[in-house]
């Protein structure tokens, strides 16, 4: 997808489906690089890994993932938005990096909580806008993050800087209660599994990339 078409598609879906899109523009290459850093630093032992990308949108982070994959690695993508999913399938079909994989990359058009992954993943990379979701969905997504991580596996996700704090100051009582619940749920997850956070200022808006690691057995 061309740069202009990608931004146009993202803006259109943001306008129509803000709650699941979350931003007016795709992630920057700097944010994408931070999101894939654990995968880029994988041990050079030749071991095949399984990678799951959640909420890839138009593929800004996908394009950073593909060059890092070995021939025997497995790459699945979960994208609820059917328009984005179709764009992704076209981009993957045209990608030399994707074509060289022994197992084809699959775009699953389904909500994460309904995704039936067969095996856990060594790397999970999520761009879901959790701050926009109902509390039940946030609870289900955070549980799925843990469920889909293999022992010792790493997950990265990002949040736009200070969004919850600003929205809490401006929100109604019901919306403030929702945001408090989201903050508590995500905070509990980070307290249990968090191993680091990176600030990415070169993005619109600026973001924090959070790294989580599933405990090894």
Per-residue model confidence (pLDDT) at position 7: 47
Give the structural domain span for 29. 3-213
Query: pLDDT by residue (tens digit) across 139-174?
Result: 999 999 999 999 999 999 999 998 888 888 888 999
The predicted model scores a pTM of: 0.88
Helix (H) or strand (E) holding 194, with range, is strand 194-200
CATH code for the domain in which residue 28 is found? 3.40.50.150
CA distance 128 to 144: 12
Q: pLDDT tens-digit profile of 54-79? A: 999 999 999 999 999 999 999 999 99
Q: Helix, strand, or coil here: 160?
A: strand
Strand 50-54 to strand 74-78: parallel, antiparallel, or no bridges (unpaired)? parallel
| pLDDT number for residue 2 | 47
Cis amide leading into 143 (omega within 30): no
| SS3 (DSSP) at 101 | coil
CA 143 to chain centre: 15
Query: Which pLDDT score is estimated for 17?
Result: 52
Nearest to residue 7, comparing CAs of 60, 56, 64, 81? 60
Residue ranges of the chain whose pLDDT lies below 70: 1-24, 217
Tally of structural domains, the chain? 1
pLDDT attached to residue 15: 43
Which H or E run includes 62?
helix 62-65
In this prediction, residue 45 carries a pLDDT of 84
> What pLDDT was estimated at residue 27?
87
For residue 95 the two structure tokens come to 């990608």
Instruction: Tell me how far CA of residue 214 lies from CA of 14, 190, 198, in angstroms.
Output: 32, 11, 19
* DSSP code for 55: -
Specify the DSSP element, H or E, that contains 74: strand 74-78
Give the chain's count of helices (H) and strands (E): 10, 7
């Amino acid at each position: 997808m061309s740069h202009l078409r990608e931004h146009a598609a993202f803006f259109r879906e943001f306008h129509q489906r803000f709650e699941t899109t979350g931003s007016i523009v795709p992630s920057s290459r700097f944010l994408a690089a931070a999101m894939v850093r654990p995968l880029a630093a994988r041990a050079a032992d030749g071991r095949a890994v399984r990678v799951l990308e959640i909420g890839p949108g138009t593929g800004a982070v996908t394009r950073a993932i593909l060059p890092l994959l070995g021939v025997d690695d497995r790459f699945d993508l979960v994208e609820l938005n059917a328009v984005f999913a179709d764009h992704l399938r076209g981009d993957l079909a045209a990608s030399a990096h994707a074509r060289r994989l022994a197992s084809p990359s699959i775009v699953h058009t389904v909500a994460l909580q309904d995704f039936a992954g067969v095996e856990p993943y060594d790397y999970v990379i999520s761009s879901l806008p959790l701050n926009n979701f109902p509390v039940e969905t946030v609870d289900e997504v955070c549980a799925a993050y843990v469920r889909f991580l293999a022992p010792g596996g790493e997950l990265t996700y990002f949040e736009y800087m200070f969004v919850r704090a600003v929205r809490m100051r401006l929100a109604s009582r019901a919306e403030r209660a929702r945001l408090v619940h989201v903050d508590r749920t995500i905070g509990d997850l980070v307290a249990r599994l968090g191993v680091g956070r990176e600030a990415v200022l070169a993005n619109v808006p600026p973001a924090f990339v959070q790294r989580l690691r599933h405990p090894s057995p």
